[in-house]
Structure 1
Amino acid sequence: MKLVEITLDYPYNGGETFCKQELEIAEKYFDEILLISMSGHIGEGNIRYVPPNAKLINARKARYEASVYLKSFFQLLRIRTIREIVFAKKKLRTKESMPQILKEIFIYYYYANLLKRVFEKEVIEDDDILYSYWMAAPAYYLSIKGKKALKVSRTHRFDCFIEECYQPFRREIIEGLDCIISISEAGKKSIEARLIPFTSCLSEKIKVSRLGIMKKSSATDFGGKSNKYFTILTCSNIHIVKRLDLMIKALEKINIPVNWIHIGDGELGEQIRTQAKVLDSNKYVKYTFKGVLTQQQIYDFYERNHIDLFVNCSDSEGVPVSVMEAISFGIPVIARDVGGNSEIVSSENGILLDKNITPKVLMEAIRSILLLDDDKYINLRKNAVRKYRECFMASENYSNFFEMLISMAKEK
């Protein structure tokens, strides 16, 4: 039995951080792994972990392939394209414009053509497992591929919360695959409510299998709060959806001593760093932008520093790895009730805020945790670690995931 896993970037570029630890578990369950990356970043930077029993294939011969582009462009003239546009506008009521819809459909055709070329050269047995890491273009290709092998896809955030952004061929993917596996209950419920009614499938086809993290050390901090400045951490790309502007506005009026540290960078980096200068006028606030760190560097930072509070301000999430990392080190969390955040943050280990909050509400939530008496605060830290151990340990979650896939493949 062979695992064929398709990623959008991994092991190239910097995304899909969960893949490494998942593959470390996968190599124990499969004699052979075929890892197919759709990345356009081949040749850029270092290649991340690839199991010793894995064959790595990049589906692209170059970042842009004119012949495949041309073929994909003419496929836009298919009746399938027209049906998808009608479905997107009439049933899903997508807010995207016609050019945006056509662009997404074109990308799906392009990726499908790249994968068709790969699969024509590879031997796929009936007992193999074909696994797309995202319910995106690779999942679409698997859904139309006439193979007896088990065909499954994970789904995370943009690929299951259809109200957030348009993704083509939702019906075809759900009907054509054997199983859709959401990383959160919220994602599962969204698919069941918004997509299943437009298919001939039952909701039993949608399952939940959580992601997780694998700490290399058992370091956990159950200490009390910092003495002089309370240390608050945020960790994310600096992107519009991450709402670091909300954090800045909340700290602008805070009147207790805090040291805000942000890990990460992105397209709005300069804008947010400039906006943060308003905090210079608040004598209670210190702040630092540390830039991009590797996952191991983040773990090292947690082990060497006492963090009092982790804050996630995002407009949209699946189940964020940054929050998993924080609770694994016993750090209380404040997050907005979006995506799967309610499955990891509660009053037991922090504060789950309404998704429609003001900076003042966020500021008051920060104060309420940092001003707790020591016993209640330490209890939050203990509960944070308990939540990690119960729900987000990679070794257990990924073992259960692959055992489920193997069982399904044997039953098919």
Structure 2
Amino acid sequence: MKTVYLFTNTFPYGINSETFIEEEMRVAGNLGLHIVVLPLHRKKVCRCVPSNVEICNSLADTSFIKKIYIACLMLFSLHFWKMLWIKDRPRSPNEFYQGIKYLYGSFWISSFLSSHKYIFKQGSVFYSYWFNHTPLGLGWRIKKDEYYRDFVLYTRAHGYDVYERQIGSYIPYRKEALAYLKGVFCVAKEGKIFLQKCYPNYAEKIFLSHLGVSTKEQYNKKVKKVADISFISCSSLTAVKRVDFIFKRINSFCVAHPQLCISWTHIGGGPLLRELQALIENKSKNLNVILTGYISNSDVKQLYMMNDFDLFVNMSLSEGIPVSIMEAISFGIPIIATNVGGNAEIVNDETGVLIPVNIDQAAFNETVSDIMNKMDILKISTILCYQNEFNADKNYHCFYNQITL
């Protein structure tokens, strides 16, 4: 059986980094595959992985002197100077900076493979979890080095690594990376359509492969309700996630319904925590707010199991296809989410309501009331949607069958 070398940003390190890979590794472990995970960066906390999933820290342990050497390689390379003149060149100083950063990452990956052949078993699979600098660096080495000639290269594509220019970033040499790749597995249908439209010559290499979640908890678990309406949200506290907007809409809903006892729980932390806490100081009296901060994926599931949440709210400006929403529907929680990215692939009449990015207060209030009126039906249909479309065992089994054949 082929060995799969999985390149991540930090997984399995960190409490809240790339948590969605945990489920994928569980399924891969059950399939008996030999997976070697190579994180680019290490953190203090290391999460558990199945026994047949190996962690290789050599890439993350690159020395400072080696990094200086890689930077020099990049600066004196044809790829660096060509980046200024190609048709898809950087359009601003920020894009130029992003281009340098990603190009450096590609040289880092390629240089690492050149000096660490002993790590890699010939005839194996290279799998990048992100469609960023990693596939380009891996592709260079496959093309240049006879040792890697029979390796095959795949990548997933999510949100920032699909719509990079829409969020002020820039990833150079996309066409070259696509030429090296055997397959790009987009986690959202919208991302697949976008990449196929941008790169029609490589459309046949671009596929849809949903992520998935799993839960063995009992959906009919009896939990005492502590509020008339209980909202839940889960994301980092960053500008693109607009958690402040979630609070404002829920808080104004509370003001409009003073007779109701309402709670809002938010899972996640981030740079905008203090700003959010300042807003919450002026909350409505009938609103109870709980900010959990960053918690582990297992703790998230425990929170869902032990609480009777009515509505999951997502107000993001940009998304791939959120695992947080998949987890919510797996527990029978209906969704209110902005119509961006891959949200529409999860949120429909059976799972909740898609809303405009700048939904006004009256429309938000009406949406909440409508969902609460058909809550019993939605709690059942959300679980059915999860089982049919976002079941981790089914989706990841199919994915690994495709990349290891």
TM-score by length of 2: 0.89
Counterparts of residues 43-54 of structure 1 (less than 5 Å): 44-45=44-45, 47-54=46-53
Following superposition, the deviation at residue 314 of structure 1 comes to 1.0
Are residue 352 (structure 1) and residue 354 (structure 2) matched?
Answer: yes
Partner of 2:54: 55
Partner of 1:156: 158
Following superposition, the deviation at residue 359 of structure 1 comes to 4.8
Partner of 1:135: 131
Partner of 1:405: 403
Per-residue displacement from partner, 1:7-34 (whole Å, max 9, x unpaired)? Answer: 1111111311122221222234455322
Partner of 1:72: 71
Following superposition, the deviation at residue 360 of structure 1 comes to 4.8
Partner of 1:145: 141
Following superposition, the deviation at residue 97 of structure 1 comes to 4.1
More deviation, 225-234/204-213 = 225-234
- Structure 2 Cα separation of the partners of residues 99 and 368 of structure 1: 47
Q: Percent identity?
A: 27
How many pairs align? Answer: 390
- 1:361 to 1:96, Cα distance in 2 relative to 1, 3 A: farther
Partner of 2:235: 236
**Secondary structure of 1:231's match?**
strand
Counterparts of residues 112-123 of structure 1 (less than 5 Å): 112-118=110-116, 120-123=117-120
Per-residue displacement from partner, 1:356-388 (whole Å, max 9, x unpaired)? Answer: 434554344223323x1xxx2211111111110
Following superposition, the deviation at residue 115 of structure 1 comes to 4.3
Following superposition, the deviation at residue 76 of structure 1 comes to 2.4
Gaps of 5+ in 1: 408-412
Partner of 1:188: 192
- Structure 1 Cα separation of the partners of residues 50 and 176 of structure 2: 32
Counterparts of residues 218-367 of structure 1 (less than 5 Å): 218-221=217-220, 228-254=227-253, 255-256=256-257, 257=260, 258-279=262-283, 282-367=284-369
- 1:15 to 1:229, Cα distance in 2 relative to 1, 3 A: same
Q: Which amino acid aligns with 1:209?
A: S
Counterparts of residues 13-92 of structure 1 (less than 5 Å): 13=14, 14-30=16-32, 32-41=34-43, 44-45=44-45, 47-60=46-59, 62=61, 65-87=64-86, 89=88
RMSD: 2.5
Contact 1:75 1:109 in 2 (8 A): yes
Contact 2:317 2:340 in 1 (8 A): yes
TM-score by length of 1: 0.87
- Structure 2 Cα separation of the partners of residues 94 and 291 of structure 1: 35
Contact 1:76 1:105 in 2 (8 A): no
Following superposition, the deviation at residue 222 of structure 1 comes to 9.1
- 1:251 to 1:33, Cα distance in 2 relative to 1, 3 A: closer
Partner of 1:383: 381
Q: Which amino acid aligns with 1:102?
A: I
Contact 1:238 1:269 in 2 (8 A): yes
Per-residue displacement from partner, 1:118-138 (whole Å, max 9, x unpaired)? Answer: 3x2224322x22111111222
**Secondary structure of 1:154's match?**
strand
- Structure 2 Cα separation of the partners of residues 268 and 300 of structure 1: 26
**Secondary structure of 1:289's match?**
strand
Gaps of 5+ in 2: 143-148
**Secondary structure of 1:152's match?**
strand
Are residue 179 (structure 1) and residue 183 (structure 2) matched?
Answer: yes
- Structure 2 Cα separation of the partners of residues 223 and 232 of structure 1: 18
